[in-house]
Amino acid sequence: MVQTTWFLSLWALDMSTQASMYATMNVCWRTACGGDWSSGLNALLSLQRCLRTAPSWVRGRSAAAKHAPGSDAAEKPRLRAIDLARAVQREKAKSQAAEAPKDAMSPQQRRVSELKQFSQQLQHVHPNVLAKHLHRGVLYQDQDLVVINKPYGVPVRDDSGAISISSVLPVISIMMEGRKARSGSQLLPCVGLEKETTGALLLARSEEAAEHVLSLHRNNQVHKKFWVVTVGVPVPSEGVIDIPIIERQVSGPQPHYKMALSPVYKMNDAGNGVTKVRSHRQANSAVTKYRVLDSSSGCSLVELQPFTGVKNQMRVHMAFALGCPILGDHKYSHWSKLAPQKLPERVLAKLGLEQSKARHVPLHLHSRQLILPGTSEGDISVFCPLPKYFTQTLKRLHLILDDEKYK
């Protein structure tokens, strides 16, 4: 212990002094351990007196080196642990001051904070955190298929390398099979969902199972039902929208592309009937069945069942065919511009927001039910619970949610 104490003290001295004093210390230690305690003690006391006088001239040399031109100390001042700790504390205090406590927030600020929490909490997490969340949200599994609850804002695939559902599927596969995991085990997305869509996502355990599901999907044997909240009440309350969709460029200050309607019928010149027109060869057939489940406060809870899989099909049909855009659809609520959705004053009041904060409203498009042919025991039918921001919106708009009624 004595030798260690002296050794640490030597770091305050230059190299030559360290070498000589370290040799003296070793001599003292060997002498003491050899039994000549009187000689060893005298040497140790002599070394201690030398160390007591060292700090004054060591500090003088350090100060001189600090101001010497071209020296490393002049260019890079010595960084102490206490300085780092104080810097971290200052940064933490700044961040806490920037984020006002909830008690000091206005009701609207708290509402925006809630929306961000419920819609963005899984968009910037570690892949393992996302994998654990998805594993806990498994809705159905058998030897061929798995259905998980997809969160908001997380894409199914992302070629840019960002976190996505596909990027964590190998981890989920290991979590599901545990120690029994086979080397070739995998999970493959079968029927995808858009990034902002939540709900039931179908996965296959093998390439053969994925091909089988895709074959069922091409033959319209995979039925998907979605729940949406719309701004406005569709009239009639039930029907089928059969209007092709095409991608068009929107000109203006911000040129961009959107999916648009490409109808095959138009009003005749007399205005008392319709005339069939030649369909655009780049247009895709799009068919969506809808029914209103409930309506209140100028909004509706609507069930959608798409029979085709055109990009943004349900959003385009609701916004441009029925004139009732989906709540939180900031892309298709306008045609000629890119801007947050314009909401009626009474809807904003119910949601506890102002128009300037409408951009924080997430898309209310949820994959509610998934039905596909199963074994001889019957079809596979999976229901997916609504995300929290969705149920909060239903309560605020006084839209009645009766799970048993709509199953």
The model's pLDDT over 72-109, given as tens digits with 9 standing for 90+, comes to 545 556 667 777 777 877 877 776 666 555 556 788 88
157, pLDDT greater than 50: yes
Question: Is 69 buried (19+), middle (13-18) or exposed (0-12) by CB count in 10 A?
Answer: exposed
pLDDT of residue 102: 54
Reading the block at residue 102, the tokens are: 């909830």
349, pLDDT greater than 90: yes
Distance in angstroms (rounded) separating the CA atoms of residues 272 and 386: 44
Q: Which fold has domain 121-219?
A: Pseudouridine synthase (3.30.2350)
Mean pLDDT of 376-383: 82
pLDDT of residue 269: 75
Q: Which carries the bigger pLDDT value, residue 186 or residue 405? A: 186
CA dihedral for 398, 400, 401, 406, sign (positive or negative): negative
The segment with the largest mean pLDDT, out of 38-52, 77-91, 107-121, 331-345, is: 331-345
Question: Cα 26 vs. chain centroid, distance in angstroms?
Answer: 61
pLDDT of residue 59: 44
pLDDT interval class at 238 (50, 70, 90): very high
Instruction: Tell me if the domain spanning 221-406 has CATH number 3.90.120.10.
Output: no
pLDDT interval class at 400 (50, 70, 90): confident
Helix and strand tally (H, E) in the chain? 12, 14
Question: Is 265 buried (19+), middle (13-18) or exposed (0-12) by CB count in 10 A?
Answer: exposed
Would 121-219 and 221-406 be classified into the same CATH topology? yes
Distance in angstroms (rounded) separating the CA atoms of residues 172 and 128: 9
pLDDT interval class at 162 (50, 70, 90): confident
pLDDT of residue 338: 86
pLDDT of residue 8: 42
* Span 196-236, pLDDT tens digits: 999 999 999 999 999 999 999 888 899 999 999 999 999 99
30, pLDDT greater than 80: no
Q: Which carries the bigger pLDDT value, residue 332 or residue 30? A: 332
pLDDT of residue 401: 73
Output the pTM of the full model: 0.72
pLDDT of residue 118: 82
DSSP 8-state assignment for residue 307? S
Share of the chain above pLDDT 90, in %: 48
The segment with the largest mean pLDDT, out of 38-47, 86-95, 255-264, 372-381, is: 255-264
Distance in angstroms (rounded) separating the CA atoms of residues 87 and 85: 5
Distance in angstroms (rounded) separating the CA atoms of residues 164 and 172: 12
Spatial contact of 204 and 188, defined as CB atoms under 8 Å apart: yes
Query: Taking the domains of the chain in order of start, what are their residue ranges?
Result: 121-219, 221-406
Average pLDDT, the chain: 81
User: Per-residue b/e over 269-296, b at no fewer than 16 CB within 10 Å?
Assistant: eeeeeeeeeeeeeebbebbbebebbbbe
Distance in angstroms (rounded) separating the CA atoms of residues 316 and 323: 10
Spatial contact of 326 and 364, defined as CB atoms under 8 Å apart: yes
